[in-house]
Amino acid sequence: MHKLNVFHWHIVDDHSFPYESARFPFLSKNGSYAPDRVYRRKDVKEILEYARLRGIRVVPEFDTPGHTQSWGRAMPGLLTACRGASLWKMFLDLPEYGPIDPSREENYAFLRKFFGEVLETFPDRFLHLGGDEVDFLCWKMNGDIWDFMTRQNISSFEGLQAYYMNRLVKLLDGVSSKKKNYLVWQDVFDNGVRLSPDAVVHVWKGDWETELAKVTNAGNAALLSSCWYLDYISYGTDWENYYKCDPENFPGNTAQKMLVLGGEVCLWGEFVDETNLHSRLWPRGSAAAERLWSPREAQDADFFASRMNEHRCRLRRRGFPAQPINGPDSCDRLIIP
């Protein structure tokens, strides 16, 4: 209906590890919200097959080295201890542990086995490695990290993240029998990590026009999400902003614009669950789909508005609680196929 043909599955995060690993079942056992809030292996297979039959590729994301608090509940030594956090906690809201500890060889051995299983489970040639919002504070507070950086001649924490990401990609290349393409959030590119030419940079922050120009000028492909964070709440006809956002509208030549693979609608779960998912997603997501599958010349939002309203009613009649988009109206007055 919308031709949204890629499912980017951000499957784990700080709060929960709901992915059942065959090799490391204790990750979901200790890291998920509850036993019935876990994607079992049969569930993953069903989702992959459901998507395959509908021409949808499934791109999993296992975000590291940050956003890994749930991993640490099952893997002692995986995360970096925030030395002195208990003393500082009376003044600051500090966690006990930070990102994955990049100084421990045991952690790379674990990651090699874990991601080896992931690559066997998910057949798509793309894998999202995350890399966003890495808080360096616990690295800064840990003497072992400083010693490691000295031994490795690493002069900055951005450089330490680059070391980790490069090690991760190298070990992934070593366990995969087929060549994989990796996606990373723009933070990795912004922090100066030297990416391979076939890496895709996922742009999500505000100044996306400048970022796309930088990424494509460096020769990397890009994917845009900045315009389409549907979990953000706004008033009125916000769908117009989603419709008017053109991923090719940035300063760059034709070759650079050919490197923009497309766009992705994001719907994060901090304030979204099964009770409001569909009303947040539809029909605002429909406006993004219309833009991404339309020629640049199609810019008439007024013309599109009537079609959007009809489509919203179509979704309603098919059982989806799609929210109103253009103010008060009734679907009863429309004849919708």
Beta strands 181-185 and 97-100: pairing type? Answer: unpaired
Q: How far apart are CA 88 and CA 204, in angstroms?
A: 32
Q: How far apart are CA 155 and CA 159, in angstroms?
A: 7
115 contacts 62 by C-beta, under 8 angstroms: yes
Q: Of 133, 248, 297, 310, which is the active-site residue?
A: 133
Dihedral sign, CA of 111, 113, 114, 120? positive
Q: How far apart are CA 80 and CA 103, in angstroms?
A: 9
Cβ-based neighbours of 328, under 8 Å, separated by 6 or more:
none
Three-class SS of residue 57?
strand
- Say whether 133 is catalytic: yes
Inter-helix orientation angle 284-292/301-317, to 10°: 130
Size of the chain in residues: 337
Separation in Å, CA 30 to CA 52, 106, 134, 262, 305: 31, 20, 23, 37, 48
**C-alpha closest to that of 80 among 194, 19, 162, 157:** 157
3-class SS letters over 97-130: EEEECCCCHHHHHHHHHHHHHHHHHCCCCEEECC
Residue 139 exposed, middle or buried by CB count within 10 Å (0-12, 13-18, 19+): buried
- Catalytic positions, please? 133
